[in-house]
């Protein structure tokens, strides 16, 4: 049948796009971990060419023709779900990429570079004024891009389509308000508790762990959560990340001698991302359905392993003795309860990437609210630092003293693809708490397993219920499939309340 031929050809074209993406991933990994310092200029040429090739590959007129032929064929109705989903996912991507004029793509790339270098300078001098003109130009281009994609939709929703398909900013606003209102009282109770964490139990001169020990720890942890080192590796980079696909998924970490916990939780976090990719269903490799679903779902998996498992009291009941054995006498004097409190310290702060499990979501919600309003024009670049600082005062109670620790703290608004991606971090928390609630029904004694260091049932549950669905469903549908419920932030709040009331004793 002709439609089957067309479908096969379409998948073959996508296959090549996917393989180019894999190559791009290897180059990125190499850039961050191994590349000689002088290699930057050559690598830029390589990455730029790959970006062009990927764009060309997916915007070929041939793909448009194949999509049209397949979808207008009456036999399309009898395609199975996987086949239909593949067609739909390719169509989405094709439409998205062909709608943007080529010169706008180039302008966005160029302006991102200019804005990034303005950001660097502005951050060094803690002076937003140096950033504002280039940021304003970038924002206008981003808005232009959004209009090309869909001029009739709320701008932020157009971006969400790329990262969290099926979500809307209206829905996010409701969800995030519930999260905010749930988190505020928890923070207050933690802060006013008499049982305050003692960080000297985990960090500082006396708790120094050699790189050698930390590397051993990293390997052991990764294996413990079934990250497969025959399909991956652990390297060092400035910021931890995961990159890869199926049988070659690499994670990185950053070791600090005087704070083992930094790499410890990074490795768990990235291994969470890593196993998601490693356990995608083999039969879908190179197809759109064989991808991970969204940034929110990815983040749910990393945070599940890092926080719900790795920072749980049950995990440390099992692991603290192991840690003591592995590290000699560094933690010999440490007691379980105080240790658990130390690694779960709650404290409102100014810098997102240093934030704890409770306050982190507020950092992200602030960005979402500002970004949403920047895109509609409700906030102008001129107002940005004032609004940023107001929100930090209001939500986190901290005084931002200069732009370097405020709105300029990280590079993300310097790049055109930095817009729309943040909500995934809070959604990850919402999703994974909801998953944990379901898991606790399916495996009533999962806490008992953790205490014994038996993580297999939990990982298997994630593989079966999350990873194996790959990209068959958009996030809202997938969450329903996994948990039997629509997206519901009450589980996250309940999880935080239960955990932190015990730790902080309120």
Query: Judged by CB under 8 A, does residue 45 bind a copy of itself?
Result: yes
- Closest to a copy of itself by CB, 46 vs 349, is 46
Query: Judged by CB under 8 A, does residue 276 bind a copy of itself?
Result: no
Sequential DSSP letters for 263-309 = HHHHHHHHHHHHHHHHTS-GGGTTSGGGS---HHHHHHHHHIIIIII
Task: State the catalytic residue, choosing from 13, 32, 270, 415.
Answer: 270
Find the binder of a copy of itself among 9, 28, 43, 64 (CB under 8 A): 43
270 is an active site residue: yes
- Closest to a copy of itself by CB, 38 vs 333, is 38
Shortest approach of a copy of itself to residue 248 CB, angstroms?
4
Query: Judged by CB under 8 A, does residue 184 bind a copy of itself?
Result: no
- Closest to a copy of itself by CB, 37 vs 80, is 37
Alpha carbon distance 212, 491 (integer Å):
39
Sign of CA dihedral 355, 120, 260, 434: positive
- Closest to a copy of itself by CB, 42 vs 188, is 42
Shortest approach of a copy of itself to residue 9 CB, angstroms?
16
Find the binder of a copy of itself among 30, 154, 314, 317 (CB under 8 A): 30
**Residues paired with 203 in a beta bridge:** 259
Which of these ranges, 28-36, 199-207, 370-378, 393-401, lies near a copy of itself under the rule CB under 8 A? 28-36
**Residues paired with 253 in a beta bridge:** 236
Shortest approach of a copy of itself to residue 85 CB, angstroms?
22
Query: Judged by CB under 8 A, does residue 230 bind a copy of itself?
Result: yes
- Closest to a copy of itself by CB, 227 vs 264, is 227
- Interacting residues with a copy of itself between 327 and 346 (CB under 8 A): none
Cβ atoms of residues 261 and 203 within 8 Å? yes
Query: Judged by CB under 8 A, does residue 128 bind a copy of itself?
Result: no
Query: Judged by CB under 8 A, does residue 23 bind a copy of itself?
Result: yes
Query: Judged by CB under 8 A, does residue 219 bind a copy of itself?
Result: no
Find the binder of a copy of itself among 73, 208, 248, 337 (CB under 8 A): 248
Query: Judged by CB under 8 A, does residue 290 bind a copy of itself?
Result: no
Find the binder of a copy of itself among 81, 140, 206, 247 (CB under 8 A): 247
Alpha carbon distance 308, 286 (integer Å):
31
Query: Judged by CB under 8 A, does residue 46 bind a copy of itself?
Result: yes
- Closest to 266 measured CA to CA, from 253, 250, 278, 249: 253
Which of these ranges, 25-33, 216-224, 365-373, 432-440, lies near a copy of itself under the rule CB under 8 A? 25-33
Sequential DSSP letters for 133-196 = HHHHHHHHHHHHHHHHH-TTS-HHHHHHHHHSTT--HHHHHHHHHHHHHHHHHHHHHHHH-S--
Which of these ranges, 24-32, 64-72, 151-159, 178-186, lies near a copy of itself under the rule CB under 8 A? 24-32
Instruction: Please tell me whether residue 251 adopts helix, strand or coil conformation.
Output: strand
- Closest to a copy of itself by CB, 30 vs 314, is 30
- Closest to a copy of itself by CB, 45 vs 77, is 45
Residue 484 gets the label, from left (phi > 0), alpha (psi -120 to 50) or beta, of left
Shortest approach of a copy of itself to residue 56 CB, angstroms?
11
Find the binder of a copy of itself among 245, 276, 304, 491 (CB under 8 A): 245
225 — phi, psi (to 5°)?
-100, 20
- Closest to a copy of itself by CB, 46 vs 193, is 46
Shortest approach of a copy of itself to residue 392 CB, angstroms?
41
419 — phi, psi (to 5°)?
-95, 135
495 half-sphere exposure, CB direction, 13 A CA radius? 26
* Number of separate helices (H) and strands (E) present in the chain: 20, 3
- Closest to a copy of itself by CB, 19 vs 69, is 19
Find the binder of a copy of itself among 51, 53, 88, 199 (CB under 8 A): 53
- Closest to a copy of itself by CB, 37 vs 72, is 37
Query: Judged by CB under 8 A, does residue 257 bind a copy of itself?
Result: no
Find the binder of a copy of itself among 246, 256, 318, 506 (CB under 8 A): 246
Segments of 290-366 assigned E as strands: none
173 half-sphere exposure, CB direction, 13 A CA radius? 11
Query: Residues binding a copy of itself: what is the number (CB under 8 A)?
Result: 35
Alpha carbon distance 172, 156 (integer Å):
10
Burial of 98 (0-12, 13-18, 19+ CB in 10 A): middle
Residue 238: C-alpha distances to residues 33, 198, 217, 241, 268 (Å): 8, 27, 19, 9, 17
Query: Judged by CB under 8 A, does residue 10 bind a copy of itself?
Result: no
Residue 258: C-alpha distances to residues 210, 422, 428, 484 (Å): 9, 30, 29, 44
Query: Judged by CB under 8 A, does residue 41 bind a copy of itself?
Result: yes
What crossing angle do the helices spanning 423-442 and 155-163 adopt, rounded to 10°? 50
The count of other CB atoms within 10 Å of the CB of residue 43 is: 15
Alpha carbon distance 147, 342 (integer Å):
48
Find the binder of a copy of itself among 50, 51, 320, 463 (CB under 8 A): 50
Residues of this chain that bind a copy of itself (CB under 8 A): 15-16, 19-20, 22-23, 26-27, 30, 34-39, 41-43, 45-46, 49-50, 53, 228-233, 245-248, 250, 286
Q: Which residues are catalytic?
A: 270
């Amino acid at each position: 049948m002709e439609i089957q031929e067309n479908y096969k050809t379409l998948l073959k074209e996508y296959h090549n796009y996917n393989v180019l993406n894999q190559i791009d991933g290897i180059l990125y990994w190499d850039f961050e971990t191994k590349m000689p310092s002088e290699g930057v200029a050559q690598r830029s040429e390589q990455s730029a060419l790959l970006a062009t090739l990927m764009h060309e590959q997916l915007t070929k007129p041939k793909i448009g023709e194949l999509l049209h032929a397949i979808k207008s064929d009456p036999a399309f109705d009898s395609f199975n779900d996987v086949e239909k989903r593949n067609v739909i996912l390719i169509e989405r991507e094709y439409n998205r990429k062909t709608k943007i004029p080529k010169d706008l793509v180039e302008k966005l790339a160029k302006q991102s570079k200019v804005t990034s270098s303005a950001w660097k300078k502005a951050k060094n001098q803690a002076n937003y004024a140096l950033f504002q003109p280039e940021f304003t130009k970038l924002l206008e281009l981003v808005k232009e891009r959004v209009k090309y994609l869909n001029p009739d939709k709320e701008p932020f929703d157009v971006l969400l389509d790329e990262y969290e398909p099926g979500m809307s900013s209206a829905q996010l606003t409701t969800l995030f308000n519930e999260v905010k209102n749930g988190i505020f009282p928890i923070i207050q109770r933690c802060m006013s508790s008499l049982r305050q964490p003692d960080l000297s139990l985990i960090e500082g001169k006396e708790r120094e762990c050699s790189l050698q020990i930390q590397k051993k720890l990293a390997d052991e942890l990764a294996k413990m959560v079934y990250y497969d080192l025959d399909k991956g590796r652990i390297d060092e980079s400035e910021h931890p990340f995961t990159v890869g696909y199926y049988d070659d998924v690499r994670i990185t970490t950053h070791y600090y001698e005087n704070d083992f916990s930094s790499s410890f939780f990074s490795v768990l976090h990235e291994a969470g991302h890593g196993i998601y990719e490693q356990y995608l269903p083999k039969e879908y490799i190179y197809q759109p359905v064989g991808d991970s679903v969204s940034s929110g779902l990815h983040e749910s998996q990393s945070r599940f392993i890092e926080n719900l498992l790795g920072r749980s009291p049950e995990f440390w009941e099992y692991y603290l003795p192991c840690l003591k054995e592995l590290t000699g006498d560094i933690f010999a004097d440490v007691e379980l309860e105080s240790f658990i409190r130390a690694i779960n310290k709650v404290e409102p702060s100014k810098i997102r990437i240093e934030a704890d499990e409770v306050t982190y979501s507020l950092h992200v919600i602030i960005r979402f609210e500002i970004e949403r309003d920047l895109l509609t024009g409700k906030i102008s670049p001129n107002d940005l630092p004032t609004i940023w600082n107001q929100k930090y005062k209001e939500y986190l109670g901290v005084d931002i003293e200069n732009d370097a620790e405020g709105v300029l703290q990280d590079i993300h608004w310097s790049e055109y693809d930095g817009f729309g991606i943040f909500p995934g971090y809070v959604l990850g928390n919402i999703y994974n708490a909801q998953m944990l609630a379901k898991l606790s029904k399916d495996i009533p004694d999962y806490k008992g397993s953790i205490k014994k260091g038996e993580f297999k049932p939990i990982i298997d549950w994630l593989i079966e219920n999350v990873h194996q669905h790959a990209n068959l469903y958009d996030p809202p549908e997938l969450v329903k499939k996994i948990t039997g419920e629509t997206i519901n932030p009450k589980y996250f709040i309940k999880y935080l309340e239960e955990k932190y009331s015990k730790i902080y004793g309120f």
